[in-house]
Structure 1
């Protein structure tokens, strides 16, 4: 028997209306000529890549971004159209499939340029490539000393019809730390590398370096395109630059579970592995059926906040693989009652940032790590472009002939 929304063990509710509003808020922060890329890597930071990609495009994003080619090709297989940039390639990756799917493919070194040229010739099509500059992050991207060779060889391949250089781009290391000296240094390096490429003959469609924090705080870094990732999902890239509300953003994910058990426990009773929590008095314990296999961080053991009833409780003892316990302080709460780990905070529930503090990590990790065992339930599915997302993934069945992921209808609520 298929579970209904009322009987789910756990659920991650994804508010597509909030996501669309966030994209519009981000568009309003950039110059009219600058485009917005909705970054949907890592399954849209745990929110569901296909529904979120469609919602972002419906709200005015003109590009999508993924890390791996497999993520980008999965979007194409689901029928998502438009421009998609993917940037994390390794030797032997599906370059030809990327060419045939019309992806924009990032190139950071000569080996990658050689592979994409071979793929383009094999496919009999011109590949769209973007050259990535390492302006100081020290990860992917071409070092300034190697830039002239990469630009020159890319222009030769373009003259031969194998590639079209559609973009020049880079990525910040410390944009979430306003005033960090590396920000100005990277911008200067990026402008120099842009100037060299353009003087050599590159005519890019887009030049871009701004991630979420730069989109929110560095208008000089917006160029032709901004790439909001975590901000699109209503999470601040850093508490130091402001809360989501400061930027007109709203958290998109709400994670909750149904209490699997409520029981009385005497004083001095050990709770969970290692007995790191001992009940200080006779109390009631509530069992939340979510654990580190679902993405609840074990590092938040003894600290993670959870709203049960009208009170925020704390994880009692260790988070286990499938479950954890909260001390209900003697309150009577029925089995099946909702335990909210995080959400927008409207009803007093914790936020992803609260969990990040409890686990000594960043909110990016909190939302992204929520695993596939937790069903996604999509809310506020209003536009034709993302209508397919109304199906609740992984549960039940859909009406015959309906495209999209598996699920049931009826989850349109304003929350």
Structure 2
């Protein structure tokens, strides 16, 4: 049954853009290199199921998430594709993972020693190498060999892959990145046997670095959604990527604000001339955080600033003229020749573009565009 949405605020997800980004990456990669579509955090706020469908249709052969719950949600819709959990999984989830053919990340010999698998199916695992991120992973060759040995002698456990994560692949200075690559090479050279899949390249590494780092697969995360991992990478992209996320609503009120009158909580905005003010039904409970006060939106192809304090459910904008109720307002996306990008929002609130679609809350419906 199609859900009816009565509030005009909505996020539009262009699935064709995601498919195009995946297809372009596939053409860019060396032959036989697989694409792991990273759809953690509800596909970076875009919607995990629909994004996964699009990515698989375009050529992705594995999905990656961060948590067991995310993996189980995907498995309901995708019974056959490999699903990898990139983060920690509790030991209590191991048998469930084996039954559901979900691949776990391992980085601790103690974790393996405590396993008590009761499944007739093997539990596939990927060993995480910490080459300099300082987060999850074995940090020395001895630790790696110890973990490798524990995996090999544990009934029902199968080492399916090895991976790492680069901390500075999106930066111009390559000194730290090079150190991580050197450590990675040391790890791999000491592996007793190569597993089925080695994957080390995130979006930035894949797009910017030597193709030898593509190994058997690459993890396509932020750039699958049409966003560059950093401003530096944006200037060096080997092929165009298309932003897939936009955010829009409508005017629900228009009124005159006379010179000297104020708007919103705290009366923080006072008109220095008579203007039209429009109210739109989106606020910080939707992810339009208060720090976005002053950010411009688009109406009739023109920019208009948010004025006053952003409320929980609505905010006000200064209009260039009177508009009818129901006039479309674009907060992220294009109108005519103007565009407000996710990167613009990120700069406004002094964060990275990854964070912006993730903070748009679940009460903003995701509407999917397929053409």
| Same-fold status (TM-score > 0.5) | yes
Measured at CA, do residues 141 and 250 of structure 1 come closer, stay the same or move farther in structure 2, by a change above 3 Å?
Answer: same
How far residue 20 of structure 1 moved from its aligned partner, in angstroms, is 0.6
> Are 1:54 and 1:80, in contact at CA under 8 Å, matched by a contact in 2?
no
Measured at CA, do residues 246 and 316 of structure 1 come closer, stay the same or move farther in structure 2, by a change above 3 Å?
Answer: farther
Measured at CA, do residues 44 and 243 of structure 1 come closer, stay the same or move farther in structure 2, by a change above 3 Å?
Answer: farther
Aligned to 1:171: 165
> Are 2:99 and 2:119, in contact at CA under 8 Å, matched by a contact in 1?
yes
Equivalent positions of 1:11-410 (< 5 A) are 11-115=10-114, 117-118=115-116, 121-144=117-140, 145-157=142-154, 160=155, 162-197=156-191, 200=192, 202-218=193-209, 219-242=211-234, 247-302=239-294, 304-329=295-320, 331-343=321-333, 347-380=337-370
> Are 1:294 and 1:374, in contact at CA under 8 Å, matched by a contact in 2?
yes
Partner Cα separation in structure 2 for residue 109 and residue 340 of structure 1:
48
How far residue 8 of structure 1 moved from its aligned partner, in angstroms, is 3.9
Unaligned runs of 5+ in 2: none
Q: Secondary structure at the match of 1:94?
A: helix
Comparing 235-244 with 163-172, greater Cα deviation is found at 235-244
Partner Cα separation in structure 2 for residue 247 and residue 271 of structure 1:
45
Aligned to 1:389: none
Partner Cα separation in structure 1 for residue 270 and residue 219 of structure 2:
47
Aligned to 1:392: none
How far residue 247 of structure 1 moved from its aligned partner, in angstroms, is 2.8
How far residue 271 of structure 1 moved from its aligned partner, in angstroms, is 2.0
Partner Cα separation in structure 2 for residue 345 and residue 167 of structure 1:
45
Comparing 141-150 with 341-350, greater Cα deviation is found at 341-350
Partner Cα separation in structure 1 for residue 186 and residue 118 of structure 2:
35
Partner Cα separation in structure 2 for residue 239 and residue 80 of structure 1:
38
Q: Secondary structure at the match of 2:339?
A: coil
> Are 2:207 and 2:238, in contact at CA under 8 Å, matched by a contact in 1?
no
TM-score for both structures, normalised by structure 1: 0.84
How far residue 326 of structure 1 moved from its aligned partner, in angstroms, is 0.9
Unaligned runs of 5+ in 1: 381-413
> Are 2:128 and 2:137, in contact at CA under 8 Å, matched by a contact in 1?
yes
Consecutive aligned runs of 4 or more in structure 1 exceeding 4 Å deviation: 2-5, 243-246, 344-347
Q: How many residues align?
A: 368
Q: Secondary structure at the match of 2:172?
A: coil
> Are 1:273 and 1:317, in contact at CA under 8 Å, matched by a contact in 2?
yes
> Are 1:235 and 1:363, in contact at CA under 8 Å, matched by a contact in 2?
yes
TM-score for both structures, normalised by structure 2: 0.94
Q: Secondary structure at the match of 1:77?
A: helix
Name the structure with the higher strand share.
2
Measured at CA, do residues 108 and 31 of structure 1 come closer, stay the same or move farther in structure 2, by a change above 3 Å?
Answer: same
Measured at CA, do residues 206 and 246 of structure 1 come closer, stay the same or move farther in structure 2, by a change above 3 Å?
Answer: closer
Partner Cα separation in structure 2 for residue 213 and residue 169 of structure 1:
15
Partner Cα separation in structure 1 for residue 85 and residue 239 of structure 2:
27
How far residue 4 of structure 1 moved from its aligned partner, in angstroms, is 6.0
Q: Secondary structure at the match of 2:220?
A: coil
How far residue 195 of structure 1 moved from its aligned partner, in angstroms, is 1.5
Cα deviation code 1:87-108 (max 9, x no counterpart): 2224355222111110111101
Q: Secondary structure at the match of 2:51?
A: helix
How far residue 345 of structure 1 moved from its aligned partner, in angstroms, is 7.1
Partner Cα separation in structure 1 for residue 203 and residue 349 of structure 2:
22
